Amino acid sequence: MEQQPGRQQVADTVTDDLIRQLDDVTAALDELSRIMSQEEDLSAILHRACLQAVHAIPEADAASVTLLRGEEPHTAATTHELAAEIDHAQCRAGEGPCLEAAKRGEVVRVTVTDVRGRWPDFAEAAAQRGVTSYLSAPLYVDKEYHGSLSLYGDQAHGFRRLDAALLELYTTAAEGALGNARRYLKSREQIEQLRTALESRAVINQAKGMLMVVNQINADEAFARLVTRSQQSNVKLRDIAARLVADGSRADT
């Protein structure tokens, strides 16, 4: 007669499984941090976050990130086309578990059959693509962007409470890193804008100086000529100035 496993053996197995999954989540966060130290595109970072979440939660087959800017939702990243299609269905309808998680700031764990009456567009899109279970956790990036990270599964029993806890752990820990990445990217963008503005100012001042010397006019008159030429040719002022500097022989025209 085959001996049944004792309670201690079952408990040890459950504990080992939990430790392994926590290790997977920790490894996923470490990898995400490494990626963010090298990547400069937020959409690419969010895509990798989706991949890492699927790897860390064994029940997940696909993942997506939905972001809201104000009240307008959009799909920011996905691992599979089916996830994008289901996400788009929710965005078009303006309702569904991913939006519920984003707006309420709570984890949403459902099976598709249980929410047919509540979110019919989501349920139909999910059922058509073989998705039977859904798990979504809020994801806060910064004051401008917030949303949710969602997992899709084909298990009839749905996601477990442990899966919900692990996803919430992952998203909560990832939020700090994503916020830092977002601030870094915004700083880089502002620095680039400032650099461009300084370069534009320098070339415009150089063109003004050339016009002042060649035509014996003051700075205001020289700038007015540049503006007039820009408007007449429908070319940006900086580009007009750059052309003039490149071809100094035409400064008196």
Contact status, residue 83 vs residue 149, Cβ threshold 8 Å: no
CA distance 246 to 118: 65
Radius of gyration, alpha carbons of the chain:
28
CATH topology of domain 189-250: Arc Repressor Mutant, subunit A (1.10.10)
Residue 196 φ/ψ, nearest 5 degrees: -65, -40
Tens-binned pLDDT, residue by residue, of the chain (253 aa): 444 554 444 333 444 555 566 656 555 555 655 555 555 577 888 888 898 889 888 889 999 999 998 778 999 999 999 999 999 999 999 999 999 999 999 999 999 999 999 999 999 999 999 999 999 999 987 777 789 999 999 987 789 888 898 888 888 877 776 766 665 566 555 556 556 665 677 777 878 888 888 888 888 888 888 888 888 888 887 887 888 888 764 444 4
pLDDT, residue 14, reads 41
pLDDT for the residue 249: 43
d(CA 177, CA 32): 8
CB atoms within 10 A of CB 36: 22
- Per-domain residue ranges of the chain: 7-186, 189-250
- Per the CATH hierarchy, to which homologous superfamily does domain 7-186 belong? Transcription factor LuxR-like, autoinducer-binding domain (3.30.450.80)
The pTM assigned to this predicted structure is: 0.61
Distance CA 13, CA 7 (A): 10
Look up residue 145 and give its two tokens: 């962007």
Residues 6+ apart with CB under 8 A from 103: 68
Dihedral, 143, 145, 147, 150 alpha carbons, nearest 10: -130
pLDDT of residue 12: 38
